[in-house]
A = this chain, B = another copy of it.
Amino acid sequence: MRIMSPKDFGLKREVEYGTPEQNKAALDIVDGVKKEGDAALLRFTEQFDGSRLTASQLRVTQEDIDAAYGLVDEAFLIAIREAAANIRKFHEKQLRNSWMDLQPDGTLLGQIMRPLKRVGVYVPGGKAAYPSSVLMNVIPAQVAGVPEIVMVTPPATGGKEGIDPFILVAAAEAGVKEIYRVGGAQAVAALAYGTETIIPVDKICGPGNIYVALAKRAVFGVVDIDSIAGPSEIAVLADAGADAAYIAADLLSQAEHDEMASSILVTPSRELADAVAAEVERQLADLPRQAIARSSIDNYGAVLLVETLAEGIDVVNQLAPEHLEILTEDPMKLLAYIENAGAIFLGPYSSEPVGDYFAGPNHILPTNGTARFSSPVNVDDFLKKSSLIYYSKEALMANGDKIMTLARHEGLEGHARAIEIRLEKERDIH
């Protein structure tokens, strides 16, 4: 693992927008489903997933779900149920009430919070079929109060016909009642525009391949979308007293995700730097996903040596990592200085997988430096706000002239007259 100074390490990666050919392919699929509905959906499903389905076979049945339960083991069920309960509890604390501000002149102003009505969750097939991500997308929407949550996932998983049973069980445990075996850009188009079989949604979330991402971007505005996920990252800020084996294991847990993942240790301790680099080698030796992790560590991993923890914090804030672990003598002492990070893990027992699977906070986090301006998936993502204005006669009589002044300064006489007509009528009455 490279050991270097922060200034020799390029902190920024470019945003991925796909090639023009990929964009055209995604747009053609979206357009086909928009125009032809189920017919196009079934045609693309045969073409890209190799599954020949009829429209009536698109929806997963209760029998399918019952069968999936027969294929998962008790230990998984126990763990996923407890994880779901923790995730639910954490997200329930994010809920907010609608509120009103009652003013002395009789005016009421407020903000009304409402759940979205219908949300679509995309769940990838293939090697990235993660039951935990089903929980992390579905539960915040449920907690927000979204009455209709629909899941789409390709009809084949990792080359095998059929949806991964662990995905189906996670969906059922999270309470999803409407699941379709359809994936790719065609699934995104169906959720955005609707087909004979699939009712359109208000928001599409969940990760997918580049075609899914480009399709989501194309339908944004027709529906809402979540952010486009980039490769995963971890930064560990540690001092000389930290356990090198823990840090190496945490860096590798990130690196095994994919070749583009980035694992970075930031430390003022040369000793720790050397020890972690050695531990990474040792632990890599028998890691099942060794090739992926090795490539990630070699290309996007680094130990960044800093002079002081304060400089380390600066580097972390520039990285704006998706995951940040702080393994220092007193990690709480540094918390107030962390400006940019998706999730912050403090102390030796807060290994990243604790948050990936179990503790309760969401594992869908801003990647690629976007923690500068965006947030983990949360309940607000599934709420919309409306402003409320109940203006009293007294308020209008007192403020009407000022409102007209501002409208006329903007050249909007019609706005001024909407006020004036009321003022005149009220003054006529009195």
Contact = CB atoms under 8 A, between A and B. Distances in A.
A372 interface: yes
Interface in A91-137: 93-94, 96, 99, 101, 107-109, 111-112, 114, 116-117, 127, 129-132
A289 interface: yes
Contacts of A223: 373
A99 B399 CA distance: 39
A48 interface: no
A180 interface: no
A168 interface: no
A360 B105 CA distance: 14
A9 interface: no
A52 interface: no
Contact of A114 (B339, B403, B417, B418): B339
Given A75-B405, A202-B372, A287 B344 contact: no
A125 B189 CA distance: 37
A410 interface: yes
A101 B111 contact: no
Given A252-B414, A356-B415, A387-B361, A421 B246 contact: yes
Contacts of A393: 349
A358 B399 contact: yes
A417 B253 contact: yes
A291 interface: no
B249 A359 contact: no
A392 interface: yes
A188 interface: no
Contacts of A269: none
Interface stretch (A35-43, A57-65, A301-309, A378-386): A378-386
Of the listed residues A90, A249, A289, A392, the one surrounded by the most CB atoms of chain B closer than 10 A to its CB is: A249
Interface in A375-430: 375-376, 378, 380, 384-393, 395-396, 399, 402-403, 405-407, 409-419, 421-422, 425
B403 A117 contact: no
A129 B253 CA distance: 52
A409 B170 CA distance: 12
Contact of A245 (B83, B112, B362, B421): B421
Contacts of A403: 79, 353-354, 357-358
A253 B414 contact: yes
Contact of A357 (B99, B256, B407): B407
A139 to B, nearest CB: 14
Contacts of A378: 111, 385
A82 interface: yes
A229 to B, nearest CB: 11
B409 A107 contact: no
Given A351-B418, A392-B349, A410 B93 contact: no
B372 A384 contact: yes
A224 B343 contact: no
A15 interface: yes
A89 B103 CA distance: 12
Contacts of A387: 342-344, 355, 361-362, 365, 376
B355 A371 contact: no
A386 B371 contact: yes
A350 B288 contact: no
A425 B253 CA distance: 18
A283 interface: yes
A103 B370 CA distance: 30
A370 B220 CA distance: 10
